[in-house]
Amino acid sequence: MWEKNKRTICNLILVGIIILLMILIDLFAPSTSMWFSVLRKVCTFALAAVSMNLLNGFTGLFSLGQAGFMLLGAYTYAILTIPVNMRSNVFRNYGDSVIHFQMPLVAALILAGIVAAFFAFLIGLPVLRLKSDYLAIATLGFAEIVRGLVQLQSFGPVTNGPDPINMFTAPKSITVYAAISGISIFIIVLMINSTYGRAFKAIRDDEIAAEAMGINLAHHKQLSFVISSFFCGIAGAMMAMCNTSVSSVSFTTSMTYQILLVVVIGGIGSISGSIIAAFIFYASSEWWLKFLDLETYTKAGSKVPLLGPGFRMVVFSILIMIIVLFFRQGIMGTREISVYDGIMKIKSVFVKDRAKGGESHE
Amino acid sequence: MSKNVLRVENLTMQFGGVVAVNNLSMEINEGEIVALIGPNGAGKTTAFNAITGVYEPTNGAVYFNDQKIIENHPQGKMKKLYAGKNADMYKQALVKTPDELTKLGMARTFQNIRLFKSMTVFDNVLTAKHLRRTSNIFTATFKLNREEELKMRKDTEELLKLVELYDVKDEIATGLPYGKQRKLEIARALATEPSLLLLDEPAAGMNPQETEELTKFIHYIREKFSLTILLIEHHMNLVMDISDRIYVIDFGEEIAEGVPAEIQANKRVIDAYLGVSEDE
């Protein structure tokens, strides 16, 4: 038990350090720093990836409906937090918005999750009877249908049709994003470590055995699907805040694939893996590899070969291929990061070296 | 008279035109170890699956502790195709799912071991405690069920000590040697607190020494947990050693029933296993 406590404490210290770093960046980094846009995106997609991991990695349900649930969350959040006096301006093509109040940020966030979860509940009933690839196709279809539906003219007074929604509450501070994402992920981790989490893993490992052990498959799959979608909805709302504008065209299938890629790179079934992968993925695609897209000239004036628009994606794709080839389990596999174990490992190497040193002295 | 725990009535399982189990009736009394045997392809596992809710039987009924758990009658296309007996005896269509049956107190193991692969020995057994929970997803997530969780863990530890798997509790389940995996599967079934344990070929793939240990183990758990046991088995030594009664089926039909000595002397059983000599 003490061993376990030490692990928890060490990991909490790590989380504390990360939060402190974020607050420091928030306070002292120049407002033009890339850290802001990158970290906002990382927080958003870390949550999206973790919620997808809950479904795909921990319950073994291969679902690709993430973009759809994020869209529902993003729209709900955006529609509810536009200031009342701005509404007629945003919805000018449809006369006025049907909603005439503004909700506080936290309430709108939770509602964004609830709307996504409600739709997940509705489609979960028929869709979760399907297995593996079929489930993926059905949920993918759902995401596309939702994207089509919100653009309909007749929903205009609510969703603003195909026009983007903007002017809603969108905090700039990274701390807000980190807090939303952090609390959500913390709740998911608590759940995975509870008796329900074990039941989810049992379903992933062997459905037939899980059912024979008294786990109601339909109920638990539905539960996992609804909870995953709830947090997906919140991630969608965070994405809306990030972009300061919501439009259905940004919630494409390719976004779902991006999240899936983050999950795979991080390790299917590892929460810390998903977070690390989200950071690496978005930091490199949005920032570290950005220079590859710029035409660069050497001091002598000749153009550096290959660098130019589009080259970033080539390098990026090759990197992903390398990761998938050499880390077949992703960065973390199904393990979780543990500071304590890391320290112990380093210590054991160190101690062994010293022991060797001692021997050579004699 | 002792109370019967499981009663199978006129159970028929038909796939298309093939009658896999025909009009099988069995009674298992409290505290008994009953074996269901038969040559390859006799329909043992099919019968087992129909009793445990994996298949919907075509006709017949199953009672567990005098509560009807399964009843079915030929429906739809089966009405015309049905080749079994007692077609008009049953009217209701009721099939409880495996998880409901486990909740009632029927636990089973599998012919080809089905452990939770990625989990440790401890977690495998702990997961089976999930069905006796009183917490819901919120109380479980926010650790408001601490007492229950601690009790689950304590019970699991005790169970693992009882079955002598405590020293390997932190190993990944599928990394254990074969005999221990079997034992773990039985332990996991015991964790659901059953009154009836159904074992599907528990000695499959075991050497004679392991089989002997298993025989002792089954006796031990029956005493310890006051269980009633139904098993399917190929190992005749094991069956003859531990069974109180034996049912023999061949081509889906019951051909004999009795205590081990009777079965060993039964001519129909010997014929079914060795084939009928053409000279007779």
**pLDDT tens digits along B196-232:** 999 998 888 888 888 888 889 999 999 999 999 999 9
CA separation for the pair A24, A119 (Å, rounded):
39
At residue A360, the pLDDT reads 41
The minimum CA-CA distance between A194 and chain B, rounded to whole Å, is: 6
Strand, coil or helix: what is B257? strand
Contact across the interface for B114 and A208, Cβ inside 8 Å: yes
The reported pLDDT for the residue numbered A287 is 81
- Chain A partners within 8 Å of B146 (Cβ): none
pLDDT of residue A355: 53
Nearest CA in chain B to A215: B99
pLDDT at B279: 56
End-to-end CA distance of chain B: 42
Say what the pLDDT of residue A361 is.
Answer: 43
pLDDT along chain A (362 residues), means of 10: 74 84 82 82 93 92 92 92 81 76 88 95 90 90 91 80 82 87 92 92 92 92 95 94 88 90 89 90 83 76 76 83 82 77 79 53 40
Tokens coding A342:
């890391």
- Quick one: what percent of chain B has pLDDT higher than 70? 98
Q: Is B108 on the interface with A (CB under 8 A)?
A: yes
Contact B119 A334 (CB under 8 A): no
| Distance, CA of B277 to CA of A198 (rounded, Å) | 55
| Interface contact B135-A195, CB threshold 8 A | yes
Q: Rounded to whole angstroms, how far apart are CA atoms B32 and A141?
A: 54
ipTM: 0.89
What separation in angstroms does the CA of A187 have from each of A194, A235, A237?
A: 11, 14, 18
The residues, ordered by sequence, that sit 6+ positions from B267 with a Cβ below 8 Å of its Cβ are none
Residue B24 backbone dihedrals phi, psi, to 5 degrees: -85, 130
pLDDT at B169 over 50: yes
Distance CA B179, CA B190 (A): 17
Q: What is the tens place of the pLDDT at every residue in B99-131?
A: 999 999 999 999 888 999 989 999 999 999 998
Residue B165 CA, distance from chain mean position: 22
**Contact status, residue A151 vs residue A248, Cβ threshold 8 Å:** yes
pLDDT category of residue B185 using cuts at 50, 70 and 90: very high
Looking at per-residue pLDDT, the higher value among A340 and B45 belongs to B45
B107 touching A (Cβ < 8 Å): yes
Q: Residues of A with CB below 8 A from B100's CB?
A: 216
Rounded-to-integer distance, Cα A303 and Cα A178, Å: 41
| pLDDT given for residue A123 in this prediction | 93
Interface test with B, best of A58, A198, A221 (most B CBs within 10 A): A198
For an interface test with B, the pick among A188, A213, A215 (most B C-beta atoms closer than 10 Å) comes out as A213
Q: Which of B126, B133, B141 to mutate to test the interface with A (most CBs of A within 10 A)?
A: B141
Match domain A10-344 to its CATH number in 1.10.3470, 3.30.1360, 3.40.720, 1.10.132: 1.10.3470
Q: Please, are residues A172 and A179 in contact by the beta-carbon 8 Å criterion? A: no
Mean pLDDT, all residues of chain B: 87
Q: pLDDT digits over A210-263, tens only? A: 999 999 999 999 999 999 999 999 999 999 998 888 888 888 888 999 899 899
What are the residue boundaries of the structural domains of chain A, listed by start?
10-344
Instruction: State whether A216 and B108 contact (CB < 8 Å).
Output: no
Contact predicate B232/B199, CB 8 Å: yes
pTM: 0.89
Cα B57 to Cα B11: distance, rounded to the nearest angstrom? 7
Closest chain B C-alpha to A77 CA, distance in angstroms: 24
> How high is the pLDDT of residue A26?
80
Residues of A in contact with B102 (CB under 8 A): 212-214
- Nearest-by-Cβ selection for B192 from A187, A199, A213: A213
B129/A190 Cβ within 8 A: no
Do the chains contact at A210 and B135, CB–CB below 8 Å? no
Q: What is the pLDDT of residue B278?
A: 60
**Per-residue confidence at B158, pLDDT binned at 50, 70, 90?**
very high
- Domains, chain B, with CATH or none: 1-105+195-280 (3.40.50.300), 111-193 (no CATH)
On whether the CB atoms of residues A21 and A350 are closer than 8 A, the answer is: no
Query: Pick from B99, B123, B152: which is nearest to A214 by CB?
Result: B99
Determine whether the interchain pair A214/B103 forms a contact, defined as Cβ–Cβ distance below 8 Å.
yes
Rounded distance between C-alpha atoms, residue B170 and residue A146, angstroms: 45
With a CB-CB cutoff of 8 Å, which residues 209-268 of chain B face chain A? none
Which range, of A332-346, B3-17, B45-59, averages the lowest pLDDT? A332-346
The nearest alpha carbon in chain A to B105 belongs to: A214
What residues pair up with A125 in beta bridges, in sequence order?
A: none
Fill in the DSSP letter of residue B167.
Answer: G
